[in-house]
């Protein structure tokens, strides 16, 4: 049976919630392995590699929060750059640092992101492809993930999700989406991974 690894993040900065983590907590499926990663640069990527080695998934989808976005956004490319606007949960704030010194400038997602977006839209879940995963921990694990699996045939990539409605007071004037709708969008995206050839 196929196995899909899905990760989200813990809350960070001054937030009490992270929608990516809440979505992961709600996912149910015999073919799913889920984990919530720390919002810490090296620790998150190390834990992600350990999960891949332990579970040997057939596909990997990582999720993260993107405040300011109003739609589900699978990312097209990860860039070889850490440039943190704020400190991570361990107080690290790298500036203009390469993630892997001798690594390429970027890695593309190997997920079927066009089909994921089309299927979410068809089901009424707002979605679009994003061309920037930022330069914080989300992009960091996306880049490390693609580098780690570059010699494999395991589809892998990252999707940002909007803030959840429960965060409206904390993030005034920024768009939110109901957690139920975001969870449905992730399930639809996972269905696209389930039909990939083994």
Active site residues: 75, 138, 160
Q: What does the block give as tokens for 186?
A: 């992730």
H or E stretch at 146: helix 137-148
How far is Cα of residue 140 from the mean position of the Cα atoms in its chain?
Answer: 10
Q: What does the block give as tokens for 181?
A: 């709708």
Residue 115 sits at the vertex; the CA angle it makes with 109 and 120, to the nearest 5 degrees, is 110
Q: What does the block give as tokens for 144?
A: 């490390």
Radius of gyration of the chain (CA): 15
15, 89, 105 from 100: Cα distances, Å? 29, 21, 9
Query: 79, 134 in Cβ contact below 8 A?
Result: no
DSSP codes of every residue in 129-190 = -BS---SSHHHHHHHHHHHHTTTS---EEEEEE-EEGGGTTTTTTS-EE-HHHHHHHHHHHH
H or E stretch at 129: none
């Amino acid at each position: 049976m196929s196995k899909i690894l899905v990760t989200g993040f813990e809350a960070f900065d001054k937030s009490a919630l992270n929608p990516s983590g809440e979505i992961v907590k709600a996912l149910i499926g015999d073919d799913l392995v889920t984990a919530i990663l720390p919002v810490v640069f090296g620790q998150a990527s190390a834990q992600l590699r350990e999960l891949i080695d332990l579970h040997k998934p057939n596909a990997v989808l990582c999720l993260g929060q993107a405040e300011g976005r109003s739609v589900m956004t699978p990312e097209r490319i990860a860039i070889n750059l850490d440039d943190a606007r704020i400190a991570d949960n361990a107080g690290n704030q790298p500036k203009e640092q390469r993630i892997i010194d001798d690594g390429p400038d970027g890695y593309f997602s190997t997920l079927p992101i066009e089909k994921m977006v089309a299927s979410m839209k068809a089901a009424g879940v707002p979605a679009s492809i994003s061309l920037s995963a930022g330069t914080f921990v989300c992009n960091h694990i996306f880049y490390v993930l693609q580098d780690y699996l570059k010699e494999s045939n395991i589809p892998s990539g990252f999707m940002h999700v909007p803030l959840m409605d429960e965060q409206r007071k904390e993030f005034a004037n920024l768009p939110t989406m109901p957690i139920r709708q975001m969870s449905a969008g992730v399930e639809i995206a996972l269905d696209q991974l389930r039909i990939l050839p083994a």
